[in-house]
Amino acid sequence: MAPYFARKLRVGMICHSSCGGSSKVAFELARQLARRDHQVHFFSQYQPFGFTSDNPNLMTHFFQAKWQPDLHPSQLKTEWNNAEQEQFLRCLTEVIERDGLDILHFHYAIPFAFLVVELKRRLGGKCPVLIGTLHGTDVSIFGTYPEYAWKLKIALEQVDCLTTVSTSHAELASRLLEIEPPLVIPNFLDLADYRPQPKLTRRKRPRLIHISNFRPVKAPHEMISIFTRILEQIEAELWLVGDGPGLEELKPRFEEQGLTGKIRFWGLQEKVAPILAQADLLLMTSVAESFCLVALEAMACGVPVLATHVGGVPEVVKHAETGYLYTAGDHEQAVEYGTKLLSDATLHRQFAQASLVQARKFDQSRVIGLYEQLYVSISWSSRPEEALAAG
C-alpha cells in the first residue's frame, strides 16, 4: 500500500517538451503524486507528446502555445532565447505567487538549472525548495566540455538537492562536474501499464525491437550491423519504434543491406507497451545511458534485453539473467548473445520470467515514496518552525 503522508505537498515539476525519458519520468512522477492527493503544477514549454491528465490535482502550464516547426519531438531544446527564458520565469513566478509551492523540481539540468537559479535570485526567501534530477546527456555530454561543466557546477551548487537515476550516473556527475554525488532515486514504471500480453499472431521468426530517438548517443547504425549479422545465423525481424532526425539517414542503409521486408517502422507512439509486449528481444546499442528506461519497460512486459554494458544499464538489466550486456562495439559478442537467446525457447522463458521479477523492484509503488520522503524532509528542514508545529 502507498505510504500515507499527512502533509499534502504543493510541487512544481519542470521538464523538456520532448518525448524522451526525462520528460516521461517527470510527467509520470507528477501523475503519481497527484493520485496521492498532492497538488502538482507541471511546467513545460509545449505540451509534451502524448501527455494528458484528467486529475484535478495535476495542473499543466505550457507557456508556448505553438510548437516550433523545426523542433522534432525527439529533441531536447537546450538553448532558449531571452524571450523564452523570460516567459518561463514569468509563468513560474505567477504560480508561486498565486498558489505557493513547497518544492520546485526540474528534470534535466540544461537549461533548467540556470533558470531556477535566476528564479531564486529574483524571489529570494519566497523561492520554493529547489530539487534537480540529472538524467543523462546533461552530464555525459555537456559535462565533458570543461567550460560548460564549470558553469553547470556553479548553478547546481545553488540547488537545494540533486538526485540522479543510477549509482553509475551519480559517480559520473561527481567526477565530471566536481560536485557531491547526487542522491540516487532510480527511474520507475507503473506496472499496471507495462505488463506481458498474449502474443497476437503466430510467427515463424523471432522479433527484435529497438525503441529510441535515433540520436548519435543511441548508435543506431550499430543496430543495423548487429541485426544483419544475426540474420546470417537465424531468421528474424526487427521493429523500430520512435523517431528522430537520425532515422531518415538510416533508411538507405536498411535498403543497401537488403533488410526491407524484415523491418517494420512504427514511428512515434504514445503507448509503447502493447507493441513491446509483442516482441522477443529489445536491442539497445547506446554508447551512454544513465539508466535506459526503455530496458525497464521491456522487462516489465516480459521481454529480455540485449544492450551495451554502459553507464547505469547493469543496474537495470541483470547480465545472463534478464538479458545480455555486451561490450560496446563488440558486435560478435552481441550477435552470439542475441542468437543464443532467440534460438533457445527454454532459456528465453527463464529470462522473460526473471525480467518480470527484476522489473517489480522499480514499480512506482516503491519509488514514488522515496520522492515523497525527500520532499517532506527537505521542505521541513528548510522551514523548521513548520516541522516543530507538526510534531
> Which of residues 42, 51, 114, 291 is near ligand GMT by CB under 6 A?
291
- Which amino acid is present at 316? V
Residue 264, H or E segment: strand 263-267
> Which of residues 17, 290, 339, 358 is near ligand GMT by CB under 6 A?
290
39 is a site residue for ligand GMT (CB under 6 A): no
375 is a site residue for ligand GMT (CB under 6 A): no
Rounded Cα distance between 315 and 249, Å, is: 32
Contact 311, 295 (CB under 8 A): no
User: Shortest gap between Cβ of 230 and ligand GMT (angstroms)?
Assistant: 24
> Which of residues 9, 13, 25, 34 is near ligand GMT by CB under 6 A?
25
> Which of residues 137, 168, 228, 358 is near ligand GMT by CB under 6 A?
137
> Which of residues 116, 117, 281, 292 is near ligand GMT by CB under 6 A?
292
CA angle 322, 222, 317 (to 5 degrees): 15
45 is a site residue for ligand GMT (CB under 6 A): no
For residues 199 to 228, the per-residue mask of contacts with ligand GMT, x marking binding by CB under 6 A and - elsewhere, is ------------------x-----------
Roughly how many angstroms between the first and final C-alpha of the chain, as a whole number?
24
Interacting residues with ligand GMT between 259 and 288 (CB under 6 A): 288
Non-local (6+) Cβ contacts of 109 within 8 A are 132, 134, 138, 139, 142, 152, 155, 156
143 is a site residue for ligand GMT (CB under 6 A): no
Interacting residues with ligand GMT between 147 and 166 (CB under 6 A): 165
Q: 343: how many CB neighbours lie within 10 A of its CB? A: 14
Residue range at the interface with ligand GMT (CB under 6 A); choices 31-39, 136-144, 188-196, 325-333: 136-144
Kindly tell me which of 19 and 129 has the beta carbon lying closer to ligand GMT: 19
What one-character DSSP code corresponds to residue 319?
B
132 is a site residue for ligand GMT (CB under 6 A): no
Kindly tell me which of 254 and 371 has the beta carbon lying closer to ligand GMT: 371
289 is a site residue for ligand GMT (CB under 6 A): yes
Rounded Cα distance between 127 and 191, Å, is: 35
42 SS3 class: strand
21 is a site residue for ligand GMT (CB under 6 A): yes
Residue 4, H or E segment: none
Half-sphere exposure of 271 (CA within 13 A, CB side): 10
Cell of 132: 534537480
176 is a site residue for ligand GMT (CB under 6 A): no
User: Shortest gap between Cβ of 48 and ligand GMT (angstroms)?
Assistant: 10
Cell of 204: 515463424
Residue range at the interface with ligand GMT (CB under 6 A); choices 135-143, 201-209, 323-331, 367-375: 135-143
Q: Is 150 exposed, middle or buried (0-12, 13-18, 19+ CB in 10 A)?
A: exposed
Residue range at the interface with ligand GMT (CB under 6 A); choices 61-69, 132-140, 154-162, 244-252: 132-140
Task: Give the residue among 226, 246, 239, 288 at the shortest CA–CA distance from 266.
Answer: 239
Kindly tell me which of 73 and 206 has the beta carbon lying closer to ligand GMT: 73
Rounded Cα distance between 36 and 55, Å, is: 11
Rounded Cα distance between 254 and 257, Å, is: 5
User: Shortest gap between Cβ of 308 and ligand GMT (angstroms)?
Assistant: 11
Residue range at the interface with ligand GMT (CB under 6 A); choices 19-27, 252-260, 273-281, 358-366: 19-27
Task: With CB under 6 A as the rule, give the number of residues binding ligand GMT.
Answer: 20
20 is a site residue for ligand GMT (CB under 6 A): yes
Expressed in percent and rounded to 5, the helix, strand and coil fractions of the chain are 45, 15, 40
Interacting residues with ligand GMT between 321 and 350 (CB under 6 A): none
List, in sequence order, every residue forming a beta bridge with 239; answer none if it has no partner.
209, 264
Beta strand ranges found along 2-69 (DSSP E): 10-14, 39-44, 58-62
For residues 89 to 128, the per-residue mask of contacts with ligand GMT, x marking binding by CB under 6 A and - elsewhere, is -------------------x--------------------
Could you identify the residue written with the cell 532565447?
Answer: 81
246 is a site residue for ligand GMT (CB under 6 A): no
Residue numbers at the binding site for ligand GMT (CB under 6 A): 20-23, 25, 76, 108, 135-137, 140, 165, 187, 217, 288-293
